[in-house]
Every structure is written in structure tokens, then in C-alpha cells.
Amino acid sequence: MDFFREQAEKYEFKNDTYLKALEKVPVVSKEKVKTAMEFLLDVTLLISEMTQQRIEQIELNTTLKESEDKFRSLFELSPLGISITSIDGSLKINKAFSEILGYSLDELKAKKWQEITHPDDIQKSSDIVKSLLDGKVTNANYEKRYIHKNGNLIWTEVTTALKRDKNNRPEYFLTSINDITDRKKAEEELIDSNEKYFNLMDSLGTGVVLHAPDTSIIFSNPRASEIMGISHEQMQGKKAISPHWRFVRNDGIDMPLEEYPVNKALKLMNSFSEYIIGIKHPNRKYITWVNVNASLVFNNNNIKYVTISFNDITEQKRAEEELINHQKHLEELVNERTKELDEKNKELNNSMKVFVGRELTIRDLQKRIKVLEGK
């Protein structure tokens, strides 16, 4: 109480009134005060944590909503067809998906995926679905044929993945499809064109060889193998330096490597024609003569391949050689005959000289006889 009296005097309170007021104030021990403060502190921390959790939840909800909005926009505005297929086969699809198949959104929602899949692709699709459900793969990419509402086939490139819940139970398939019908048609047309091209190459009487820029052979037709004297399989991958053949010049002299047709074309960076060369093959006793044309095919200013085409002119070459030999023989015969005629002419000239000399001598004697006879 002395402390409170001192406080009353210090602050000029009425002593009796101040002390009576203090008697009405409850007295609390330090332990109770400590307990109360700890309780208040715990409550404050709890409120703070709950507030932070609420803030985080609000932020999470905002992020989730933004994510859902982005997914919805992607789903609805994507140029790719996107579908969400439940485990029982029901579909949720976007506008692009319905446009690819020609159905309305409501029409497709009422269909199972099997109903819009080409019959020959149902088993393949089922196998892929099973692999996803069994956990053998997490996603798959493959080509699949759908059936358009008008009955036409739609070729698509499909990418699909299986979404599972937190307990790893399958929820739905998320699938995107890209319409590749035009590409498949172009591929079929290209295949058809290639078949026609290769059939043409096979039927040509001209040998055709395509060389890569490193001179290795990437294509050759049957006639080329026939002229070169090796099989089609042996031709593939061979380079200009291959020991399977040697080339000779038109005069029969061995041709240096840089003059080989493909090397010459690569060196000139230009096409050429009417290039006569001979082919020496280890298994042939004769030289095969060919007339070679070369052309370069470029792609963005880079050489894609070199086309070498050649015709077998061996018989023509032999005929030319025989003609040349025949002409030489005729020239020799003419020269011999001319020489014989020259010698005959010389003998004739000598004989004429003798004859003329004798004729002059006879005439002179006749004149002398006439003089003697007094004529």
C-alpha cells in the first residue's frame, strides 16, 4: 500500500479516494497474467495463420480460375480438334473438332468415339486406349481415320493422353486431332507419281544414275546396271572411286578421276552432254562405250544430286572403227594401185620415146634413099 500512497502524493490524487478505488480493482497473480498473455498470443498467431491461409486460398482460386479460363480459351479457340473423352466413351469436343468431322457440337456429344472411327482403326485405337489405361504408356501419337458426317474419310494425326486423379484412377482422355487429309492425298499422289516415274526409269533404254554431292549413288535404273556390268544392289552407295569400274577416254587412255562424269559435273557446277567415255570392267574383255549427259539439281543454291544418263554406243563405236579401218584399207589399196599405174605410165613413156626415136630414124633413111635415086 505504501507504493500506492506514494503514487497518490506524486500525482496529487486524494489519498483516501485513490486507495478505496484500488480496493475495487481485482488483484491478479503474475502466473495468471502470463497464462492470459500466452493465450492471447496463441489466438493472435491462429488468426494470422488463418488469414494467411485465406489469402493463399484466394490467390490459388484466382490462379485456378485464370488457368481454367486459359484452358477454356485454348479448348474453344484452338485450330486443332480437341476432345475430352470419359472412360465410358462419351465425348466433349470443341468447335474445330466438330468442323473437321462435319457434325454439330450437340450431334457429336451424343456419339461414342467408336461411332465416328473408321472400322479398320477401331482395334488400333482400342489397343492404344488399353495401353494408356494399363499404364504402359503415358501418351500416344498416331494416325487415325475418322468418318465425316457425309461419309468421307478424314485422315488425322492424333495425340492423346490419359488424365488420372490423385489416387491414380483414370478420369478422362485428353485428345487433339490435326486434319491431315490433304497431306495424305498429296502423299498418295506422290507415291503414284513415283511409281510411274520408276516404271518409266525401269523401261528406259538409257542408263540413269543419281549421285549425292559426295558422288555416292542414291538411285540407278536396271539399264544402268546392265551397261555398267554390276547388279542394282552393288550399285547402291558406290562412289566414283569404286574399284568396280575404270573409265577411259575416247582415245582409249585411262581417264583420271577428276574427268569422271560426276566429278566433272561437280567441278564445272554445270551440265554437259555428248561426253564419250569407255567403261572397263574386270569381268569384261571389251570396253563398253557410252555417250554421257550430266545435269545438276539444286535446292536453295545447294546441290541436291547429280543426274548422269548414258547410252551404250559400243556397237556404234565398233562400226565407226570398222568403217575407219575399211577406209584405211581402201586408201592403202588406192595408193598401191596408184603406184602401179605410175610405174606403168613410166614404162609407157619410155616405150613411146623409143618408138618416136625409131620413127625419126626410118624417115631420115627414106629421105636419103630418095636422094640417091635422084628423086
Q: Quickly tell me which residue has 500416344 as its cell.
A: 140
Q: Where are the domains of the chain?
A: 2-63, 78-186, 204-312, 330-375
Give me the sign of the Cα torsion angle 141, 145, 147, 152: positive
Supply the pLDDT for residue 274. Answer: 92
DSSP-derived secondary structure for 298-314: EETTEEEEEEEEEEE-H
Order across the sheet with 272-280: list the strands.
Answer: 217-220, 207-211, 302-312, 288-299, 272-280, 246-248
- Three-class SS state of 85: strand
The two domains 78-186 and 204-312 share their CATH topology (first three levels equal): yes
d(CA 249, CA 277): 5
pTM for the model stands at: 0.46
pLDDT greater than 60 at residue 356: no
- Three-class SS state of 341: helix
Mean pLDDT in residue range 163-179: 89
DSSP-derived secondary structure for 41-64: HHHHHHHHHHHHHHHHHHHHHHHH
Residue pair 50/43 in contact (Cβ under 8 Å)? The answer is no
Angle 79-80-81 from CA coordinates, rounded to 5°: 120
- Three-class SS state of 288: strand
Percent of the chain with pLDDT strictly greater than 90 = 23
Q: What is the CATH number of domain 204-312?
A: 3.30.450.20
Supply the pLDDT for residue 95. Answer: 87
Supply the pLDDT for residue 191. Answer: 78
pLDDT digits (tens, 9 = 90+) for 73-111: 667 777 888 888 888 767 788 888 889 999 988 888 788
Q: What is the CATH number of domain 78-186?
A: 3.30.450.20
- 8 membership: H or E segment, kind and range: helix 2-11
Least confident of 176-185, 196-205, 292-301: 196-205
pLDDT greater than 90 at residue 265: yes
Closest CA to 303 of 218, 211, 239: 211
360-375: string of b/e by CB count within 10 Å (b at 16+)? eeeeeeeeeeeeeeee
Contacts of 326 (CB under 8 A, 6+ apart): none
pLDDT digits (tens, 9 = 90+) for 216-227: 888 888 888 888
Higher per-residue pLDDT: 27 or 169: 169
pLDDT greater than 90 at residue 119: yes
Supply the pLDDT for residue 327. Answer: 83
d(CA 257, CA 342): 52
pLDDT greater than 90 at residue 17: no
